Structure 1
Amino acid sequence: MTSTIISQIELSQEDCMNKVSAETRQAIQTGVRKKAVYVVLLTLALFLPAATLQWWQAWALIGLSVMGVAFELLVLLPHDPGLFAQRSAVQEGTKQWDTILTVLSVLVFYAVALVIAGLDFRFGWTPPFALWRHILGMVLFLISSTIIYWAMMANTFFTATVRIRTERAHQVCDRGPYAIVRYPGYAGGLLTYIALPLILGSWWAAIPAALSIIGFILRTYLEDQTLKQELIGYQAYTQKVKYRLLPGIF
Protein backbone atom coordinates (compact mmCIF):
# COMPACT_ATOMS: atom_id res chain seq x y z
CA MET A 1 0.00 0.00 0.00
CA THR A 2 2.83 2.37 0.88
CA SER A 3 4.51 1.75 -2.48
CA THR A 4 1.20 2.46 -4.24
CA ILE A 5 0.83 5.80 -2.45
CA ILE A 6 4.43 6.74 -3.29
CA SER A 7 3.85 5.82 -6.94
CA GLN A 8 0.71 7.97 -7.04
CA ILE A 9 2.58 10.89 -5.49
CA GLU A 10 5.37 10.53 -8.05
CA LEU A 11 2.84 10.47 -10.91
CA SER A 12 1.02 13.47 -9.45
CA GLN A 13 4.26 15.43 -9.17
CA GLU A 14 5.33 14.48 -12.71
CA ASP A 15 1.99 15.61 -14.12
CA CYS A 16 2.26 18.96 -12.31
CA MET A 17 5.86 19.51 -13.37
CA ASN A 18 4.79 19.36 -17.01
CA LYS A 19 2.37 22.26 -16.48
CA VAL A 20 4.40 24.85 -14.57
CA SER A 21 7.35 27.18 -15.08
CA ALA A 22 10.89 26.26 -14.10
CA GLU A 23 10.75 28.59 -11.07
CA THR A 24 7.49 27.07 -9.84
CA ARG A 25 8.85 23.59 -10.53
CA GLN A 26 11.84 24.27 -8.31
CA ALA A 27 9.60 25.65 -5.55
CA ILE A 28 7.42 22.54 -5.74
CA GLN A 29 10.44 20.28 -5.41
CA THR A 30 11.55 22.29 -2.38
CA GLY A 31 8.08 21.97 -0.89
CA VAL A 32 8.02 18.20 -1.35
CA ARG A 33 11.40 17.87 0.36
CA LYS A 34 10.18 20.04 3.24
CA LYS A 35 7.17 17.77 3.71
CA ALA A 36 9.47 14.76 4.02
CA VAL A 37 11.71 16.61 6.49
CA TYR A 38 8.64 17.62 8.49
CA VAL A 39 7.58 14.00 8.98
CA VAL A 40 11.10 13.04 10.07
CA LEU A 41 11.36 15.95 12.52
CA LEU A 42 7.88 15.23 13.89
CA THR A 43 8.90 11.64 14.58
CA LEU A 44 12.16 12.66 16.25
CA ALA A 45 10.49 15.39 18.35
CA LEU A 46 8.10 12.81 19.77
CA PHE A 47 10.18 9.69 20.25
CA LEU A 48 13.56 11.07 21.31
CA PRO A 49 12.16 12.74 24.48
CA ALA A 50 9.92 9.72 25.11
CA ALA A 51 12.96 7.38 24.81
CA THR A 52 10.73 4.62 23.44
CA LEU A 53 8.80 3.68 20.32
CA GLN A 54 6.08 2.01 22.40
CA TRP A 55 3.75 4.99 22.33
CA TRP A 56 0.69 4.38 20.18
CA GLN A 57 -0.69 7.90 20.62
CA ALA A 58 2.43 9.37 19.02
CA TRP A 59 2.12 6.92 16.13
CA ALA A 60 -1.50 8.02 15.75
CA LEU A 61 -0.44 11.67 15.46
CA ILE A 62 2.26 10.77 12.93
CA GLY A 63 -0.25 8.75 10.92
CA LEU A 64 -2.73 11.62 10.85
CA SER A 65 0.03 14.02 9.83
CA VAL A 66 1.21 11.72 7.03
CA MET A 67 -2.37 11.57 5.77
CA GLY A 68 -2.35 15.36 5.58
CA VAL A 69 0.95 15.40 3.69
CA ALA A 70 -0.40 12.79 1.27
CA PHE A 71 -3.49 14.93 0.66
CA GLU A 72 -1.36 17.96 -0.15
CA LEU A 73 0.78 15.99 -2.60
CA LEU A 74 -1.99 13.93 -4.21
CA VAL A 75 -4.84 16.47 -4.27
CA LEU A 76 -3.71 20.03 -3.54
CA LEU A 77 -0.57 19.92 -5.68
CA PRO A 78 -2.39 18.84 -8.88
CA HIS A 79 -5.31 21.17 -8.06
CA ASP A 80 -3.19 24.30 -7.58
CA PRO A 81 0.57 23.91 -8.21
CA GLY A 82 1.07 27.66 -7.84
CA LEU A 83 -0.38 27.67 -4.33
CA PHE A 84 1.75 24.69 -3.29
CA ALA A 85 4.83 26.48 -4.61
CA GLN A 86 3.92 29.75 -2.84
CA ARG A 87 3.49 27.92 0.47
CA SER A 88 6.92 26.30 0.19
CA ALA A 89 8.83 29.38 1.38
CA VAL A 90 8.39 32.77 3.02
CA GLN A 91 7.72 35.17 0.16
CA GLU A 92 9.18 38.61 -0.41
CA GLY A 93 6.94 41.30 1.04
CA THR A 94 5.85 39.26 4.07
CA LYS A 95 5.17 41.47 7.09
CA GLN A 96 7.84 41.23 9.80
CA TRP A 97 5.27 40.77 12.57
CA ASP A 98 3.76 37.86 10.66
CA THR A 99 7.13 36.17 10.20
CA ILE A 100 7.77 36.42 13.95
CA LEU A 101 4.32 35.15 14.94
CA THR A 102 4.50 32.33 12.39
CA VAL A 103 7.85 31.15 13.70
CA LEU A 104 6.62 31.29 17.29
CA SER A 105 3.12 29.87 16.81
CA VAL A 106 3.67 27.30 14.10
CA LEU A 107 7.27 26.23 14.70
CA VAL A 108 8.58 26.98 18.20
CA PHE A 109 5.49 26.38 20.34
CA TYR A 110 4.42 23.37 18.25
CA ALA A 111 7.86 21.78 18.58
CA VAL A 112 7.95 22.54 22.32
CA ALA A 113 4.52 20.95 22.75
CA LEU A 114 5.73 17.77 21.05
CA VAL A 115 8.90 17.58 23.15
CA ILE A 116 7.00 18.23 26.38
CA ALA A 117 4.46 15.55 25.47
CA GLY A 118 7.31 13.10 24.89
CA LEU A 119 8.90 13.91 28.24
CA ASP A 120 5.49 13.71 29.88
CA PHE A 121 4.97 10.21 28.49
CA ARG A 122 8.44 9.18 29.62
CA PHE A 123 8.19 10.47 33.18
CA GLY A 124 4.45 10.14 33.73
CA TRP A 125 3.69 13.74 34.69
CA THR A 126 0.09 13.48 33.46
CA PRO A 127 -2.12 10.62 34.71
CA PRO A 128 -3.26 8.28 31.90
CA PHE A 129 -6.12 9.63 29.80
CA ALA A 130 -9.32 7.72 29.22
CA LEU A 131 -9.42 6.29 25.69
CA TRP A 132 -12.30 8.56 24.69
CA ARG A 133 -10.09 11.63 25.19
CA HIS A 134 -7.49 10.33 22.76
CA ILE A 135 -10.23 9.50 20.25
CA LEU A 136 -11.76 12.97 20.71
CA GLY A 137 -8.36 14.49 19.97
CA MET A 138 -8.02 12.46 16.77
CA VAL A 139 -11.52 13.45 15.64
CA LEU A 140 -10.74 17.12 16.30
CA PHE A 141 -7.47 16.75 14.37
CA LEU A 142 -9.33 15.30 11.37
CA ILE A 143 -11.90 18.09 11.53
CA SER A 144 -9.14 20.69 11.71
CA SER A 145 -7.36 19.16 8.71
CA THR A 146 -10.62 19.08 6.75
CA ILE A 147 -11.24 22.78 7.44
CA ILE A 148 -7.68 23.77 6.53
CA TYR A 149 -7.59 21.81 3.28
CA TRP A 150 -11.09 22.99 2.34
CA ALA A 151 -9.80 26.54 2.73
CA MET A 152 -6.73 25.75 0.62
CA MET A 153 -8.84 24.26 -2.15
CA ALA A 154 -11.16 27.28 -2.15
CA ASN A 155 -8.54 30.03 -1.94
CA THR A 156 -5.60 30.11 -4.35
CA PHE A 157 -4.07 32.89 -2.20
CA PHE A 158 -3.91 30.70 0.93
CA THR A 159 -0.24 31.21 1.77
CA ALA A 160 1.63 30.62 5.03
CA THR A 161 2.07 34.33 5.81
CA VAL A 162 0.13 37.48 4.97
CA ARG A 163 1.25 39.21 1.80
CA ILE A 164 -0.67 40.95 -0.97
CA ARG A 165 0.25 38.91 -4.03
CA THR A 166 0.16 41.58 -6.72
CA GLU A 167 2.02 39.28 -9.12
CA ARG A 168 -0.98 36.92 -9.03
CA ALA A 169 -3.75 39.58 -9.08
CA HIS A 170 -4.68 38.99 -5.44
CA GLN A 171 -8.45 39.00 -4.87
CA VAL A 172 -10.73 38.50 -1.88
CA CYS A 173 -11.98 34.92 -1.54
CA ASP A 174 -15.57 34.69 -0.27
CA ARG A 175 -16.47 31.14 -1.27
CA GLY A 176 -16.30 27.82 0.53
CA PRO A 177 -15.41 28.22 4.23
CA TYR A 178 -14.63 31.90 3.59
CA ALA A 179 -18.38 32.48 3.30
CA ILE A 180 -18.65 31.41 6.96
CA VAL A 181 -15.60 32.98 8.67
CA ARG A 182 -12.79 35.18 7.40
CA TYR A 183 -9.96 32.94 8.65
CA PRO A 184 -10.99 29.30 8.27
CA GLY A 185 -7.35 28.21 8.02
CA TYR A 186 -6.60 29.72 11.41
CA ALA A 187 -9.82 28.25 12.81
CA GLY A 188 -8.59 24.84 11.72
CA GLY A 189 -5.20 25.58 13.23
CA LEU A 190 -6.80 26.36 16.59
CA LEU A 191 -8.49 22.96 16.56
CA THR A 192 -5.15 21.33 15.80
CA TYR A 193 -3.62 22.80 18.94
CA ILE A 194 -6.63 21.77 21.01
CA ALA A 195 -6.38 18.25 19.60
CA LEU A 196 -2.64 17.85 20.17
CA PRO A 197 -2.60 17.45 24.00
CA LEU A 198 -5.64 15.16 23.81
CA ILE A 199 -4.10 12.84 21.25
CA LEU A 200 -0.79 12.63 23.11
CA GLY A 201 -2.32 12.53 26.59
CA SER A 202 -0.38 15.45 28.03
CA TRP A 203 -1.86 18.37 29.92
CA TRP A 204 1.61 19.94 30.09
CA ALA A 205 1.72 20.09 26.29
CA ALA A 206 -1.42 22.21 26.47
CA ILE A 207 0.66 25.14 27.78
CA PRO A 208 2.71 25.79 24.58
CA ALA A 209 -0.37 24.80 22.57
CA ALA A 210 -2.33 27.57 24.31
CA LEU A 211 0.45 30.05 23.50
CA SER A 212 0.13 29.05 19.84
CA ILE A 213 -3.61 29.66 19.99
CA ILE A 214 -2.99 33.14 21.39
CA GLY A 215 -0.54 33.73 18.53
CA PHE A 216 -3.15 32.66 15.97
CA ILE A 217 -5.75 35.01 17.43
CA LEU A 218 -3.28 37.90 17.40
CA ARG A 219 -2.42 37.11 13.77
CA THR A 220 -6.07 37.34 12.74
CA TYR A 221 -6.30 40.82 14.27
CA LEU A 222 -3.11 42.12 12.65
CA GLU A 223 -3.85 40.45 9.32
CA ASP A 224 -7.34 41.92 9.32
CA GLN A 225 -5.90 45.41 9.71
CA THR A 226 -3.39 44.80 6.91
CA LEU A 227 -5.95 43.44 4.46
CA LYS A 228 -8.41 46.25 5.17
CA GLN A 229 -5.71 48.75 4.23
CA GLU A 230 -4.05 46.95 1.32
CA LEU A 231 -6.47 44.51 -0.35
CA ILE A 232 -9.18 45.98 -2.56
CA GLY A 233 -12.62 44.68 -1.61
CA TYR A 234 -11.63 43.30 1.78
CA GLN A 235 -13.38 46.04 3.77
CA ALA A 236 -16.66 45.19 2.04
CA TYR A 237 -16.00 41.49 2.67
CA THR A 238 -15.73 42.14 6.43
CA GLN A 239 -19.24 43.61 6.34
CA LYS A 240 -20.52 40.51 4.57
CA VAL A 241 -18.65 37.93 6.70
CA LYS A 242 -18.53 39.44 10.17
CA TYR A 243 -16.71 36.76 12.16
CA ARG A 244 -13.03 35.90 12.03
CA LEU A 245 -12.85 32.44 13.60
CA LEU A 246 -16.12 31.23 15.16
CA PRO A 247 -19.48 31.91 13.47
CA GLY A 248 -21.71 34.02 15.70
CA ILE A 249 -19.05 34.32 18.42
CA PHE A 250 -15.70 35.75 17.29
Structure 2
Amino acid sequence: MTDFLDNKRNANTKSIFSIIKILLFFNLPNGILLFLSAGTVYWAMGWLYILIFLITNSFISIYINSDLSNERIKKHTNSKKWDHYLLILIFLFGVIVWIIAGLDHRFGWSGNIPITIQVFSTLMVIFGNVLFTWGILSNNYFSTTVRIQSERGHLVISHGPYRFLRHPGYLGVCSYTIFQCFMLGSVWALVPAAVVVVAFVIRTYLEDETLQRELTGYKEYAKNVRYRLIPEMW
Protein backbone atom coordinates (compact mmCIF):
# COMPACT_ATOMS: atom_id res chain seq x y z
CA MET A 1 0.00 0.00 0.00
CA THR A 2 2.84 2.35 0.88
CA ASP A 3 4.53 1.61 -2.45
CA PHE A 4 1.28 2.36 -4.26
CA LEU A 5 0.88 5.70 -2.48
CA ASP A 6 4.51 6.59 -3.15
CA ASN A 7 4.13 5.77 -6.85
CA LYS A 8 0.95 7.83 -7.03
CA ARG A 9 2.63 10.74 -5.24
CA ASN A 10 5.60 10.53 -7.62
CA ALA A 11 3.27 10.44 -10.62
CA ASN A 12 1.40 13.50 -9.34
CA THR A 13 4.70 15.33 -8.75
CA LYS A 14 5.84 14.44 -12.27
CA SER A 15 2.53 15.72 -13.66
CA ILE A 16 2.88 19.06 -11.87
CA PHE A 17 6.48 19.57 -12.97
CA SER A 18 5.62 18.48 -16.52
CA ILE A 19 2.89 21.10 -16.78
CA ILE A 20 5.17 23.79 -15.28
CA LYS A 21 7.89 22.85 -17.80
CA ILE A 22 5.44 23.13 -20.69
CA LEU A 23 4.23 26.51 -19.41
CA LEU A 24 7.74 27.90 -19.08
CA PHE A 25 9.36 26.54 -22.23
CA PHE A 26 6.56 26.51 -24.79
CA ASN A 27 3.25 28.11 -23.87
CA LEU A 28 4.69 31.15 -22.09
CA PRO A 29 7.04 32.20 -24.96
CA ASN A 30 4.33 31.34 -27.48
CA GLY A 31 1.75 33.40 -25.61
CA ILE A 32 4.13 36.34 -25.13
CA LEU A 33 4.93 36.50 -28.86
CA LEU A 34 1.31 36.08 -29.87
CA PHE A 35 -0.22 38.64 -27.51
CA LEU A 36 2.63 41.16 -27.72
CA SER A 37 2.25 41.15 -31.50
CA ALA A 38 -1.52 41.50 -31.13
CA GLY A 39 -1.09 44.37 -28.69
CA THR A 40 -3.86 43.01 -26.46
CA VAL A 41 -4.74 40.09 -24.23
CA TYR A 42 -8.42 40.38 -25.14
CA TRP A 43 -8.30 37.80 -27.90
CA ALA A 44 -10.53 34.76 -27.42
CA MET A 45 -9.08 32.70 -30.26
CA GLY A 46 -5.56 33.46 -29.07
CA TRP A 47 -6.35 32.09 -25.61
CA LEU A 48 -8.13 29.05 -27.06
CA TYR A 49 -5.10 28.37 -29.25
CA ILE A 50 -2.76 28.52 -26.23
CA LEU A 51 -5.11 26.28 -24.22
CA ILE A 52 -5.20 23.59 -26.94
CA PHE A 53 -1.42 23.39 -27.04
CA LEU A 54 -1.13 23.51 -23.24
CA ILE A 55 -3.45 20.51 -22.90
CA THR A 56 -1.74 18.57 -25.69
CA ASN A 57 1.82 19.21 -24.57
CA SER A 58 1.02 18.58 -20.92
CA PHE A 59 -0.58 15.25 -21.85
CA ILE A 60 2.47 14.24 -23.88
CA SER A 61 4.87 15.33 -21.16
CA ILE A 62 3.00 13.39 -18.47
CA TYR A 63 2.43 10.14 -20.35
CA ILE A 64 5.49 9.93 -22.58
CA ASN A 65 7.87 7.03 -22.01
CA SER A 66 10.74 8.19 -19.74
CA ASP A 67 13.39 6.78 -22.10
CA LEU A 68 11.87 8.70 -24.98
CA SER A 69 11.64 11.83 -22.86
CA ASN A 70 15.38 11.63 -22.18
CA GLU A 71 16.07 10.84 -25.84
CA ARG A 72 14.23 13.95 -27.01
CA ILE A 73 16.22 16.41 -24.86
CA LYS A 74 19.70 15.01 -25.51
CA LYS A 75 22.07 16.01 -28.30
CA HIS A 76 23.22 13.10 -30.45
CA THR A 77 26.30 12.97 -32.61
CA ASN A 78 24.69 10.62 -35.13
CA SER A 79 21.75 12.90 -35.90
CA LYS A 80 21.54 13.73 -39.59
CA LYS A 81 23.15 17.09 -40.39
CA TRP A 82 20.48 18.03 -42.91
CA ASP A 83 17.88 17.61 -40.17
CA HIS A 84 19.50 20.29 -38.01
CA TYR A 85 19.09 22.83 -40.82
CA LEU A 86 15.47 21.82 -41.38
CA LEU A 87 14.70 22.11 -37.66
CA ILE A 88 16.16 25.62 -37.53
CA LEU A 89 14.03 26.59 -40.55
CA ILE A 90 10.92 25.04 -38.98
CA PHE A 91 11.50 26.79 -35.65
CA LEU A 92 12.18 30.24 -37.15
CA PHE A 93 9.21 30.25 -39.51
CA GLY A 94 6.99 28.71 -36.82
CA VAL A 95 7.78 31.74 -34.64
CA ILE A 96 7.10 34.07 -37.57
CA VAL A 97 3.63 32.50 -37.91
CA TRP A 98 2.78 33.57 -34.36
CA ILE A 99 4.16 37.09 -34.85
CA ILE A 100 2.31 37.70 -38.13
CA ALA A 101 -0.93 36.24 -36.73
CA GLY A 102 -0.68 38.63 -33.78
CA LEU A 103 0.11 41.65 -35.96
CA ASP A 104 -2.72 40.69 -38.31
CA HIS A 105 -5.12 40.64 -35.36
CA ARG A 106 -3.88 44.09 -34.30
CA PHE A 107 -4.01 45.78 -37.72
CA GLY A 108 -6.73 43.74 -39.45
CA TRP A 109 -4.73 42.91 -42.57
CA SER A 110 -6.86 39.88 -43.42
CA GLY A 111 -10.23 41.46 -42.71
CA ASN A 112 -12.92 39.36 -41.05
CA ILE A 113 -12.59 35.63 -41.58
CA PRO A 114 -16.04 33.96 -41.22
CA ILE A 115 -16.60 32.37 -37.82
CA THR A 116 -17.56 29.08 -39.51
CA ILE A 117 -14.07 28.88 -41.07
CA GLN A 118 -12.46 29.72 -37.73
CA VAL A 119 -14.50 27.03 -35.93
CA PHE A 120 -13.69 24.42 -38.59
CA SER A 121 -10.02 25.43 -38.46
CA THR A 122 -10.04 25.11 -34.66
CA LEU A 123 -11.33 21.54 -35.03
CA MET A 124 -8.53 20.83 -37.53
CA VAL A 125 -5.94 22.26 -35.12
CA ILE A 126 -7.31 19.92 -32.44
CA PHE A 127 -7.25 17.01 -34.92
CA GLY A 128 -3.63 17.79 -35.82
CA ASN A 129 -2.64 17.90 -32.15
CA VAL A 130 -4.45 14.63 -31.39
CA LEU A 131 -2.81 12.88 -34.36
CA PHE A 132 0.62 14.21 -33.38
CA THR A 133 0.09 13.09 -29.77
CA TRP A 134 -1.11 9.64 -30.89
CA GLY A 135 1.99 9.31 -33.07
CA ILE A 136 4.36 10.17 -30.21
CA LEU A 137 2.68 7.92 -27.65
CA SER A 138 2.61 5.00 -30.12
CA ASN A 139 6.27 5.29 -31.09
CA ASN A 140 9.01 4.84 -28.48
CA TYR A 141 11.55 6.08 -31.06
CA PHE A 142 9.84 9.39 -31.95
CA SER A 143 12.96 11.50 -31.57
CA THR A 144 13.47 15.25 -31.92
CA THR A 145 16.15 14.68 -34.58
CA VAL A 146 16.38 12.07 -37.31
CA ARG A 147 18.74 9.25 -36.38
CA ILE A 148 18.86 5.48 -35.97
CA GLN A 149 18.72 4.77 -32.24
CA SER A 150 20.84 1.64 -32.24
CA GLU A 151 21.70 1.96 -28.54
CA ARG A 152 17.96 1.77 -27.74
CA GLY A 153 17.29 -1.23 -29.98
CA HIS A 154 15.50 0.80 -32.64
CA LEU A 155 12.62 -1.18 -34.14
CA VAL A 156 9.98 -0.53 -36.80
CA ILE A 157 6.69 0.68 -35.30
CA SER A 158 3.60 -0.57 -37.10
CA HIS A 159 0.77 -0.15 -34.58
CA GLY A 160 -1.43 2.82 -33.70
CA PRO A 161 -1.56 5.43 -36.50
CA TYR A 162 1.49 3.78 -38.10
CA ARG A 163 -0.88 1.13 -39.44
CA PHE A 164 -2.19 3.75 -41.87
CA LEU A 165 0.69 6.17 -42.52
CA ARG A 166 4.46 5.95 -42.14
CA HIS A 167 4.73 9.47 -40.66
CA PRO A 168 1.37 10.29 -39.03
CA GLY A 169 2.90 12.73 -36.52
CA TYR A 170 4.11 14.93 -39.37
CA LEU A 171 0.63 14.95 -40.92
CA GLY A 172 -0.67 16.18 -37.57
CA VAL A 173 1.94 18.97 -37.49
CA CYS A 174 1.16 20.04 -41.06
CA SER A 175 -2.56 20.09 -40.29
CA TYR A 176 -2.34 22.37 -37.29
CA THR A 177 0.36 24.52 -38.90
CA ILE A 178 -1.93 25.45 -41.79
CA PHE A 179 -5.23 25.67 -39.95
CA GLN A 180 -3.88 27.66 -37.00
CA CYS A 181 -3.62 30.59 -39.42
CA PHE A 182 -7.37 30.52 -40.18
CA MET A 183 -8.19 29.82 -36.52
CA LEU A 184 -6.27 32.96 -35.53
CA GLY A 185 -7.83 34.94 -38.37
CA SER A 186 -4.70 35.54 -40.43
CA VAL A 187 -4.40 34.76 -44.13
CA TRP A 188 -0.93 36.38 -44.19
CA ALA A 189 0.37 33.88 -41.62
CA LEU A 190 -0.11 31.22 -44.30
CA VAL A 191 3.10 32.44 -45.98
CA PRO A 192 5.52 31.36 -43.22
CA ALA A 193 3.23 28.41 -42.40
CA ALA A 194 3.69 27.15 -45.97
CA VAL A 195 7.47 27.24 -45.48
CA VAL A 196 7.07 25.10 -42.35
CA VAL A 197 4.89 22.58 -44.20
CA VAL A 198 7.31 22.37 -47.14
CA ALA A 199 10.17 21.80 -44.67
CA PHE A 200 8.20 18.95 -43.09
CA VAL A 201 7.49 17.41 -46.50
CA ILE A 202 11.23 17.49 -47.26
CA ARG A 203 11.98 16.07 -43.82
CA THR A 204 9.43 13.29 -44.36
CA TYR A 205 11.08 12.30 -47.64
CA LEU A 206 14.65 12.38 -46.29
CA GLU A 207 13.73 10.61 -43.05
CA ASP A 208 11.87 7.91 -44.93
CA GLU A 209 14.85 7.35 -47.23
CA THR A 210 17.13 7.14 -44.17
CA LEU A 211 14.90 4.58 -42.48
CA GLN A 212 14.67 2.46 -45.63
CA ARG A 213 18.47 2.40 -45.93
CA GLU A 214 19.44 2.02 -42.29
CA LEU A 215 16.61 0.52 -40.22
CA THR A 216 16.14 -3.25 -40.44
CA GLY A 217 12.63 -4.22 -41.48
CA TYR A 218 11.54 -0.76 -42.61
CA LYS A 219 11.54 -1.60 -46.32
CA GLU A 220 9.13 -4.47 -45.65
CA TYR A 221 6.96 -2.18 -43.53
CA ALA A 222 6.95 0.44 -46.32
CA LYS A 223 5.63 -2.16 -48.75
CA ASN A 224 2.66 -2.81 -46.46
CA VAL A 225 2.02 0.82 -45.48
CA ARG A 226 2.36 2.55 -48.83
CA TYR A 227 1.82 6.21 -47.97
CA ARG A 228 4.31 8.44 -46.16
CA LEU A 229 2.28 11.54 -45.29
CA ILE A 230 -0.98 11.89 -47.22
CA PRO A 231 -3.42 8.95 -47.46
CA GLU A 232 -4.01 7.69 -50.99
CA MET A 233 -1.57 10.27 -52.42
CA TRP A 234 2.00 10.16 -51.10
TM-score, normalised by the number of residues in structure 2: 0.90
Matches of 2:119 and 2:231, distance apart in 1: 25
Preserved CA contact (<8 Å) 1:31 1:88? no
Q: Cα gap change, 1:206/1:166 in structure 2, threshold over 3 Å: closer, same or farther?
A: same
Which of 53, 56, 60 does residue 68 from structure 1 map onto? 56
Preserved CA contact (<8 Å) 1:137 1:195? yes
Partner of 1:102: 87
Q: Indicate yes or no: 2:68 matched with 1:83.
A: yes
Matches of 2:150 and 2:209, distance apart in 1: 18
Matches of 2:195 and 2:227, distance apart in 1: 22
Preserved CA contact (<8 Å) 2:121 2:182? yes
Partner of 1:12: 11
Q: Which letter maps to 1:190? A: C
Partner of 1:113: 97
Deviations 1:34-72 (A, max 9, x none): 652211110111011111111111111101111112212
Preserved CA contact (<8 Å) 2:101 2:189? yes
Give the CA RMSD over aligned residues.
2.1
Q: Following TM superposition, by how much is the alpha carbon of 1:214 offset from its aligned partner in structure 2, in angstroms?
A: 0.4
SS in 2 for 1:243: coil
Partner of 1:53: 41
Q: Indicate yes or no: 2:175 matched with 1:191.
A: yes
Matches of 2:9 and 2:185, distance apart in 1: 36
Q: Following TM superposition, by how much is the alpha carbon of 1:242 offset from its aligned partner in structure 2, in angstroms?
A: 0.8
Q: Following TM superposition, by how much is the alpha carbon of 1:14 offset from its aligned partner in structure 2, in angstroms?
A: 4.3
Partner of 2:137: 153
Percentage identity across aligned positions?
A: 32
Preserved CA contact (<8 Å) 2:165 2:229? yes
Matched length: 226
Partner of 1:25: none
Q: Following TM superposition, by how much is the alpha carbon of 1:110 offset from its aligned partner in structure 2, in angstroms?
A: 0.8
Q: Cα gap change, 1:141/1:89 in structure 2, threshold over 3 Å: closer, same or farther?
A: farther
Give the unaligned 5+ runs of structure 2. Answer: 1-7
